[in-house]
Amino acid sequence: MKISTCVTFVLCTATASAFSTTPFIANSSAKYDTSLNLFGGKKEGGEKGPGMMDQLAMLKKAQEVASKKMALDKELAQIEHVGEGADGKVTITVKYVPPPPMQQPSYEPAGCNIDEEYLAAASTEDLSAAVADAIQDGYKKATIATAEKMQSLTEELSKIMGDMAPPAAA
Protein backbone atom coordinates (compact mmCIF):
# COMPACT_ATOMS: atom_id res chain seq x y z
CA MET A 1 0.00 0.00 0.00
CA LYS A 2 2.88 2.34 0.66
CA ILE A 3 4.20 1.76 -2.87
CA SER A 4 0.88 2.61 -4.52
CA THR A 5 0.56 5.76 -2.43
CA CYS A 6 4.08 6.75 -3.42
CA VAL A 7 3.38 6.08 -7.13
CA THR A 8 0.14 8.08 -6.95
CA PHE A 9 1.99 10.97 -5.28
CA VAL A 10 4.70 10.95 -7.97
CA LEU A 11 2.14 10.87 -10.79
CA CYS A 12 0.14 13.69 -9.26
CA THR A 13 3.18 15.90 -8.79
CA ALA A 14 4.37 15.19 -12.34
CA THR A 15 0.96 16.10 -13.75
CA ALA A 16 0.71 19.20 -11.58
CA SER A 17 4.14 20.37 -12.67
CA ALA A 18 3.11 20.07 -16.28
CA PHE A 19 0.53 22.80 -15.69
CA SER A 20 2.67 25.00 -13.50
CA THR A 21 4.06 28.22 -14.82
CA THR A 22 7.73 28.24 -15.50
CA PRO A 23 9.62 31.46 -15.93
CA PHE A 24 10.50 32.19 -19.54
CA ILE A 25 13.99 33.56 -19.95
CA ALA A 26 14.46 35.45 -23.18
CA ASN A 27 17.87 35.35 -24.73
CA SER A 28 18.47 38.90 -25.90
CA SER A 29 21.44 37.84 -28.00
CA ALA A 30 19.30 35.54 -30.20
CA LYS A 31 18.56 36.97 -33.64
CA TYR A 32 15.31 35.11 -34.31
CA ASP A 33 12.45 36.96 -35.99
CA THR A 34 9.34 35.69 -34.30
CA SER A 35 6.92 38.24 -35.72
CA LEU A 36 4.46 36.82 -38.22
CA ASN A 37 3.67 40.09 -40.01
CA LEU A 38 0.11 38.89 -40.48
CA PHE A 39 -1.12 42.33 -41.45
CA GLY A 40 1.69 43.35 -43.80
CA GLY A 41 4.46 44.48 -41.48
CA LYS A 42 7.80 45.69 -42.77
CA LYS A 43 10.67 43.33 -43.24
CA GLU A 44 14.37 44.08 -43.06
CA GLY A 45 15.35 46.45 -45.82
CA GLY A 46 12.14 48.44 -45.51
CA GLU A 47 10.07 46.53 -48.08
CA LYS A 48 6.53 45.60 -47.16
CA GLY A 49 5.73 41.91 -47.20
CA PRO A 50 2.34 40.47 -48.08
CA GLY A 51 0.12 40.23 -45.06
CA MET A 52 -2.98 38.29 -44.22
CA MET A 53 -5.24 41.12 -45.37
CA ASP A 54 -3.54 41.19 -48.78
CA GLN A 55 -3.97 37.43 -49.11
CA LEU A 56 -7.65 37.63 -48.15
CA ALA A 57 -8.19 40.34 -50.77
CA MET A 58 -6.47 38.20 -53.40
CA LEU A 59 -8.59 35.20 -52.40
CA LYS A 60 -11.74 37.28 -52.72
CA LYS A 61 -10.70 38.47 -56.19
CA ALA A 62 -9.94 34.89 -57.24
CA GLN A 63 -13.38 33.79 -56.07
CA GLU A 64 -14.98 36.63 -58.04
CA VAL A 65 -13.10 35.59 -61.19
CA ALA A 66 -14.13 31.96 -60.68
CA SER A 67 -17.79 32.89 -60.31
CA LYS A 68 -17.58 35.08 -63.42
CA LYS A 69 -15.98 32.18 -65.29
CA MET A 70 -18.80 29.85 -64.28
CA ALA A 71 -21.43 32.39 -65.40
CA LEU A 72 -19.59 32.88 -68.70
CA ASP A 73 -19.40 29.10 -69.21
CA LYS A 74 -23.18 28.86 -68.76
CA GLU A 75 -23.72 31.71 -71.19
CA LEU A 76 -21.40 30.21 -73.81
CA ALA A 77 -23.07 26.79 -73.49
CA GLN A 78 -26.36 28.35 -74.62
CA ILE A 79 -24.96 29.77 -77.87
CA GLU A 80 -25.14 27.71 -81.05
CA HIS A 81 -22.47 28.25 -83.70
CA VAL A 82 -23.40 27.20 -87.21
CA GLY A 83 -20.71 26.02 -89.60
CA GLU A 84 -21.42 25.76 -93.31
CA GLY A 85 -20.16 23.58 -96.12
CA ALA A 86 -21.01 23.26 -99.83
CA ASP A 87 -22.14 26.89 -100.05
CA GLY A 88 -24.59 26.58 -97.14
CA LYS A 89 -26.20 23.33 -98.30
CA VAL A 90 -24.66 21.48 -95.34
CA THR A 91 -24.79 23.07 -91.89
CA ILE A 92 -23.45 21.76 -88.60
CA THR A 93 -24.42 23.29 -85.25
CA VAL A 94 -21.61 23.33 -82.71
CA LYS A 95 -21.98 24.05 -78.98
CA TYR A 96 -19.46 24.97 -76.30
CA VAL A 97 -18.93 22.39 -73.55
CA PRO A 98 -17.72 23.90 -70.23
CA PRO A 99 -14.46 22.26 -69.18
CA PRO A 100 -13.70 20.59 -65.87
CA PRO A 101 -11.19 22.49 -63.70
CA MET A 102 -7.72 22.93 -65.19
CA GLN A 103 -8.81 21.62 -68.62
CA GLN A 104 -9.32 23.18 -72.03
CA PRO A 105 -12.88 23.84 -73.25
CA SER A 106 -14.32 21.53 -75.84
CA TYR A 107 -17.02 21.72 -78.47
CA GLU A 108 -19.47 19.16 -79.70
CA PRO A 109 -21.69 18.98 -82.75
CA ALA A 110 -25.30 19.49 -81.72
CA GLY A 111 -27.09 19.21 -85.04
CA CYS A 112 -26.70 18.62 -88.75
CA ASN A 113 -28.81 19.83 -91.65
CA ILE A 114 -28.26 18.73 -95.25
CA ASP A 115 -30.24 20.11 -98.16
CA GLU A 116 -32.29 17.27 -99.69
CA GLU A 117 -31.49 18.21 -103.31
CA TYR A 118 -27.79 18.39 -102.53
CA LEU A 119 -27.95 15.04 -100.71
CA ALA A 120 -29.59 13.37 -103.72
CA ALA A 121 -27.19 14.89 -106.28
CA ALA A 122 -23.82 14.82 -104.40
CA SER A 123 -21.35 11.99 -104.49
CA THR A 124 -20.26 10.43 -101.20
CA GLU A 125 -16.84 12.10 -101.47
CA ASP A 126 -18.42 15.53 -102.03
CA LEU A 127 -20.89 14.98 -99.19
CA SER A 128 -18.11 13.84 -96.86
CA ALA A 129 -15.97 16.86 -97.75
CA ALA A 130 -18.93 19.24 -97.26
CA VAL A 131 -19.70 17.78 -93.81
CA ALA A 132 -16.02 18.01 -92.82
CA ASP A 133 -15.88 21.64 -94.00
CA ALA A 134 -19.06 22.48 -92.07
CA ILE A 135 -17.68 20.89 -88.89
CA GLN A 136 -14.38 22.76 -89.22
CA ASP A 137 -16.21 26.02 -89.88
CA GLY A 138 -18.44 25.49 -86.84
CA TYR A 139 -15.48 24.71 -84.57
CA LYS A 140 -13.62 27.75 -85.89
CA LYS A 141 -16.59 30.06 -85.26
CA ALA A 142 -17.12 28.60 -81.77
CA THR A 143 -13.44 28.97 -80.88
CA ILE A 144 -13.29 32.59 -82.04
CA ALA A 145 -16.51 33.51 -80.21
CA THR A 146 -15.30 31.81 -77.02
CA ALA A 147 -11.93 33.58 -77.20
CA GLU A 148 -13.62 36.96 -77.63
CA LYS A 149 -15.91 36.36 -74.64
CA MET A 150 -13.05 35.09 -72.48
CA GLN A 151 -10.83 38.08 -73.33
CA SER A 152 -12.37 40.29 -70.62
CA LEU A 153 -11.95 37.53 -68.05
CA THR A 154 -8.33 37.06 -69.12
CA GLU A 155 -7.64 40.78 -68.77
CA GLU A 156 -9.13 40.80 -65.28
CA LEU A 157 -7.05 37.79 -64.26
CA SER A 158 -3.85 39.34 -65.62
CA LYS A 159 -4.60 42.49 -63.63
CA ILE A 160 -4.95 40.42 -60.47
CA MET A 161 -1.72 38.58 -61.23
CA GLY A 162 -0.01 41.93 -61.88
CA ASP A 163 -1.15 43.15 -58.48
CA MET A 164 0.39 40.07 -56.89
CA ALA A 165 3.77 40.52 -58.55
CA PRO A 166 6.53 41.92 -56.36
CA PRO A 167 7.53 45.51 -57.13
CA ALA A 168 10.27 45.87 -59.70
CA ALA A 169 13.75 46.53 -58.35
CA ALA A 170 14.96 50.05 -59.03
Domain boundaries defined on the chain: 67-164
Q: Are 122 and 134 in contact (CB under 8 A)?
A: no
Name residues whose C-beta falls within 8 Å of residue 96's C-beta, 6 or more positions apart in sequence: 73, 76, 77, 79, 81, 105, 107, 142, 146
Query: Model confidence at 131, in pLDDT bands (50, 70, 90)?
Result: very high
Query: Model confidence at 7, in pLDDT bands (50, 70, 90)?
Result: very low
d(CA 153, CA 159): 10
Predicted local confidence at residue 159, as pLDDT: 77
Name residues whose C-beta falls within 8 Å of residue 116's C-beta, 6 or more positions apart in sequence: none
Q: Are 91 and 99 in contact (CB under 8 A)?
A: no
* pTM of this structure: 0.58
Comparison of pLDDT for 68 and 168, the residue scoring more: 68
CB atoms under 10 Å from CB of 168, counted, come to 5
Q: Are 92 and 109 in contact (CB under 8 A)?
A: yes
Q: Phi and psi for 104 in degrees, rounded to 5?
A: -80, 150
Please compute the mean of the pLDDT values over residues 82-108 and round it to a whole number: 90
Please compute the mean of the pLDDT values over residues 107-135 and round it to a whole number: 93
In 3D space, the residue among 75, 77, 70, 79 whose CA is nearest the CA of residue 101 turns out to be: 70
User: In CATH, what is the architecture of 67-164?
Assistant: 2-Layer Sandwich (3.30)
Query: Model confidence at 43, in pLDDT bands (50, 70, 90)?
Result: low
